[in-house]
A and B are shown apart, each in its own frame.
Chain A
Amino acid sequence: MKIKTIHIPEVGEEFKTFTHPSGMRVILAEKDLYTGYGLLSVDFGSILEEYEEEGGIFSFPDGTAHFLEHKMFENPDGADTFVKFDACGADANAYTSTDRTCYLFSTSDDFCKGLSVLLESVFTPFFTPENVKKEKGIILQELKMYRDNPYEAVSRALISAMYERLRIRNDICGSIRSVKSVTADDLTRAYTRFYRPERMILTLCGRFNADEVIRVIDACVPAQGTVLPPCRAIGEKNENTVFKRKKTLYCGVTTPMFAAGIKCPAYGLSGQERLIAYNYMSVAAQALFATSSPFVSRLRAEGLLPFDCSDDVVCDRDCAHILFFAHTFDVKKTEKIFFEEIGRLITEGIGEECFERTKKLLYSSFLSEFNSSESTAHLYSSDAFDGIDTSLVPSSILNMTGEKAAEFIAKILRREAISVVAALPQQQKGAL
C-alpha cells in the first residue's frame, strides 16, 4: 500500500492518498481543527439507475440510489447506527446526488470509533420487505416536501428541457409510483453492483492519527472481490444540443421566474480537461450572470429584479452546464435582454477586467474550501471522484488566458445549446 503525500504549496496545504488493498481510495488530510470529518462517497447516483454494461442495458426503478441511502443505517441485529454514532459524540448524515451517494459524520470526540461505525454500517446491508415497506412512507413524505417547493420544480423543468435522455432530468428521489415499486431485491441488486470498495472514496479531514485510522479501515472494509466490468450512464443522444429550447411552467411561485441553462459538451474529457473547462465555464458565467455583469446590471436598471439572482456551474463526468435563475417582474423582457446580452458577448467578447476578476474569484473559492474540515473533505473527495489533481487547481487558474476564454465562450454560446424556462404563478394559467 503506497501512501503518497500531495502538497499544495500555494495555499499551504497537503494531504495523503492511497488505494487500500480492498480497492477503496483513501484521502487523509490532518488539520488542526476541533471538527473531525469523515466522508464516504459511493460512485452510484441517480443517473446510474439506467446504465450500459458490456453492451447490455440495465435499470432500476427511479429513486433506487436515494432509497438505498435511506436504508444504509439499519442493521441486521436491530441496533440503530445513529445510537452508535451518538456514543462517540458524532453527528451523521447522508445524501444522494445525480452522480454519487455520500455518507458522512463529524465529531470532536472519538474519531476512530465514528469511522468504524460509518464503515460497518455501509458494509453491512440489511434489506427486508418489512423495512423497505416502512421506508416508503418516509420517502413519500420527503417527495411531497420537495413538490411543495416551486424552486425544485423550476430547476427540474430547466434540466429536463436541456437533457433528453440522461437521468439527470429525473427527480433524484424518484416518483411516487417508482418509490412504491422499489423492492428489497432491487436494493440488494443495486448494492451488490455499486457498493463495492473500488467504487468508493473515503476522505477524512481533521485531527486524527493516520496509523490509527488505517487500522480501522483495514478492520472494517472487506477485501476486494471480483472486479466487475465498467459501466456508464445512458448518455445523451446529442451532447451539444438541448432537448427543448423553451418551456413554460405554472407552479407555486408568486413572482414569475426566468431560468436559463447553457449545455456544454463535456463527455469523454479527462479530469484535468474538465477542470480547465470548469474554469472557462466560470468565466462565461461571470461575464453573463455576475452582479457586475452588463446583463444583471441591465435587469437591475430596468427595475426587473425583486430578489437576488443565482447561477451555478456544473462540470461533471456525464454532464456540464451553466444555470441561471432569477425572479423577475417581466419574464419576456428578461428573456429578450438575456439573448441580446448573449449576442453582445459573442460579438464583443469578454473584457479583460471581467476575465481577471473571474480568476480572482476562482482562486478565492478554492482557498476558502480550506476553512473547515467539511469543505476541505468535500473538495478532495469531489476532485478525486472527477479525476482531478487538486494540487494542480491553483496553476490551472493562474495559467488561464484571455484568448482561450474567448475561444471557449464562442464555442459554448450557441442558441441550440440554450434552454430557457418561464415559470409563472399558477393563477396565471389560462390568463395569458
Chain B
Amino acid sequence: METSLLYPGVTLRTVREHKFKSDYLSVVFICSGELYDRAHAAILPQVLTRGCRAYPTEAALDGALLDLYDASLQCSGQTNGESFLFSFRLSVNEADFLPDGQEIRRKARDLFFSFIFDVLREKDGFVKRIFLEEKKNLLERLNAEKVNKPRYAVARCLHFLCENEPLDYQTKDLRRDIRKVTAKSLYDYYLRVLREARVEVFYYGREERESVEKDLKARLAPLDTEKRPYVRDVFSPLKPAVMRKTERLEAHQSTLCVGYKTALTGAEDQSALALTRELLCISPTSLIFENLREKQSLCYSCADKLLPRKGVYLLYAGIDGRNAKTVEETLDRQLDTLISGNFSTERLENGKRAIINALLQMNDSPAEIEGRCIRALLSGREDDPEAAKARVAALGKEDVMRAAASLKKDSVFLLYGVRKEKKNP
C-alpha cells in the first residue's frame, strides 16, 4: 500500500492490483469531537442517497449506475466508538472484461464526485420535501429497534456500560434530537463535515498510483481546507459494583449480555485481547462454544463485541431465559480458565494461527483492507499488517492471562423473552 497526502488531513492510500475484475474507490470522512453529532449523522446518508443535481431522483441515479454496467455507489454512516464515519464507496467493472470494452471508470468517477459535492438542495438547505420524507422514514426505522432482539439487547447493554458518556445515545434521545434537525441545519452540518473532517481515500485497482493521485487531487480540491484534529475516545470507567438489569420482551428466545471493562490500550495489548477473544468466544473451538453450546446445549449462537478505544467488551448469547444464571456461571468459568492459564499450548497456537490467517485473508478484500486501516488510524497507529502479524506470533500464554485478567465484569443485561400465552416467570 502506498500512502500520499493529497491535502492537509486528506490522505490517499493506493494498492495497485490486477487480481480483481473491478476497481474500488472510497472516501471516508472521520467525524469526531464536535462533528460527532448523531442526530444529523443518522439522517445525512439517507438524504444524500436520494440523488444529486445531475441525477435528481433515485430512479435516475439507479439508471445511470446500471448504464455503467451496474457500477456500485454506496453512501453510508457508521458509528465507531465515539466517532462517526461517513463512507462513499464506488466499485466499477474493468473495461477489459466488458463486452463492448467501454471505459467507464472516468464516467463513474464523474458521477461519484458529483454525488458527493453537487448535492440536491434548494435555497440554503437540502430539498425540504426529501428531507422531511427521510426524517419520517428514519423515525419509523427507529421504532423498529426491538425487531432484531440480539441487536437491541447489545444496544441496551452498551447503554448500561457507558451510561452518560458520548457513546450512550439511546434511541429515545436520538428520536428527540432528530425532530430538531432541519433541512438547513443538516446541509450546514454536511458542509462542516466536508470542510472539517479528516478524510481517508482508498483506491484499489489497476490504475497507476500517479494517475490516481493526479485525478483525485483535482476532484477533491474542495476538501483543501483546515481540518479539525481527531478527538480520541475516552475510556469508560469501571463501575464500583456490577450493574444488573432485566427487561422483558415478547420473544421466543432471551438474550444474555455480559459487559466488561478493560484498561488495556497499546498495540501489544490489543493483540493480546484479540487472541483472548479468539480463545474465549470467536471460533468454534473457543471455550464458550465448546462448553456452553457443545457440552451444555444451552445456546445456538454466542458472540462478542469489543470497543477497543473505549475499553468495553461484551459477550452475548441467545438462550432460554430460565438458564440465565447457569449461562453466566459458564461464561465466568471460561474467562477464569484463561486467567489461570489452564489451557493447552495447542489451543494457544491454533488461536494465533487463526488470527494470522484472518489477517492474510483480509488482503483479498479492498473493503477489509480499508476497515483494517481505519481501525488502526482511530487507535492512533498506521496500518501495518506485517507488524500486526509479528505481534500476534510473539504472544505467549502469559499475554492471554494478562488480557483476560484485565476484563472486569461491569454490567449484565438480560433481555427476557416471554410469550403472551404463557405466564411470565
Contact = CB atoms under 8 A, between A and B. Distances in A.
A90 B143 CA distance: 41
Contact of A371 (B20, B137, B346, B363): B20
Interface stretch (B61-69, B305-313, B376-384): B61-69
Interface string A108-123: 1100000000000000
Contacts of B61: 291
B354 A306 contact: no
B99 A394 contact: yes
Contacts of B285: 80, 82-83, 86
Interface string B58-90: 111111001101100000000000000000000
A357 interface: yes
B147 A145 contact: no
Given A10-B97, A89-B353, A292 B63 contact: yes
B357 A89 contact: yes
B59 A367 contact: no
Contacts of B391: none
Contacts of A91: 283, 354, 357-358
B319 A141 contact: yes
Given A148-B417, A364-B93, A109 B353 contact: yes
Interface string B346-377: 10001101101110110111000000000000
Interface in A280-336: 290-293, 296-297, 300, 303, 305-307, 329
B275 to A, nearest CB: 13
Contact of B66 (A137, A142, A357): A357
A367 B68 CA distance: 14
A145 B318 contact: yes
A361 B70 contact: yes
Contacts of B353: 86-87, 89, 109
A280 B151 CA distance: 38
Interface string B2-25: 000000000000000001111000
A110 to B, nearest CB: 10
Contacts of B57: 297
Interface stretch (A183-191, A251-259, A405-413): A251-259
Contact of A367 (B93, B147, B299, B361): B93
B320 interface: yes
A296 B61 CA distance: 14
A148 B415 CA distance: 13
B300 A145 contact: yes
A92 interface: yes
Contacts of B319: 141
A297 B59 contact: yes
Contacts of A300: 58-59
B137 A370 contact: no
Interface stretch (A29-37, A47-55, A233-241): A29-37
A373 interface: yes
A207 to B, nearest CB: 11
A107 B22 contact: no
B137 A306 contact: yes
B283 A141 contact: no
Contacts of B63: 292, 353, 357
A35 B361 contact: yes
Contacts of B62: 290-292
B218 interface: no
A139 B298 CA distance: 10
B133 interface: yes
A138 interface: yes
A144 B293 contact: no
A124 interface: no
B110 interface: no
Contacts of B106: none
A6 interface: no
B299 A138 contact: yes
A160 to B, nearest CB: 19
A373 B360 CA distance: 14
B388 to A, nearest CB: 14
Residue among A136, A303, A360, A398 facing the most chain B CB atoms (10 A cut-off)? A360
A138 B297 contact: yes
B99 to A, nearest CB: 6
Interface string A47-91: 000000000000000000000000000000000101100110111
Interface string A359-374: 0110111011011110
Contacts of A136: 297
Contacts of B208: none
A290 B64 CA distance: 13
Interface in A124-172: 134-139, 141-142, 144-145, 147-150
B19 A32 contact: yes
Contact of A137 (B144, B250, B297, B351): B297
A109 B357 contact: yes
A48 to B, nearest CB: 24
A268 interface: no
A12 interface: yes
A363 B98 contact: yes
Nearest to B64: A292
Contacts of B70: 360-361, 364-365
Q: Name the residue among A144, A363, A370 with the largest chain B CB count within 10 angstroms.
A: A144
B115 to A, nearest CB: 15
Given A86-B354, A292-B59, A370 B297 contact: no
A106 interface: yes
B253 A145 contact: yes
Nearest to B144: A254
A223 interface: no
B19 A141 contact: no
B336 interface: no
B301 interface: yes
A364 B102 CA distance: 13
A11 interface: yes
Nearest to B366: A371
Interface in B45-63: 57-63
Contact of B364 (A33, A364, A365, A367): A33
Contacts of A367: 21-22, 93, 97
B320 A11 contact: no
23 contacts: A10-B97, A11-B21, A80-B285, A82-B285, A83-B350, A86-B350, A87-B353, A92-B284, A106-B361, A135-B297, A137-B298, A138-B294, A141-B253, A148-B417, A254-B143, A297-B58, A306-B137, A306-B141, A360-B70, A363-B98, A371-B21, A373-B364, A426-B250
Given A367-B21, A373-B364, 15 more contacts: A10-B97, A35-B361, A136-B297, A141-B299, A141-B300, A145-B253, A252-B147, A254-B147, A255-B143, A306-B140, A329-B140, A364-B93, A368-B21, A368-B22, A371-B21
Interface of B: 19-22, 57-63, 66-67, 69-70, 93, 96-99, 133, 136-137, 140-141, 143-144, 146-149, 250-253, 283-285, 290, 293-294, 297-301, 318-320, 346, 350-351, 353-354, 356-358, 360-361, 363-365, 417
Interface of A: 10-12, 31-35, 80, 82-83, 86-87, 89-92, 106-109, 134-139, 141-142, 144-145, 147-150, 252-255, 290-293, 296-297, 300, 303, 305-307, 329, 353, 357, 360-361, 363-365, 367-368, 370-373, 394, 398, 426
List 10 tightest A-B contacts by C-beta distance, closest first: A137-B297, A86-B350, A364-B70, A291-B62, A142-B300, A141-B300, A144-B252, A357-B66, A108-B360, A89-B357
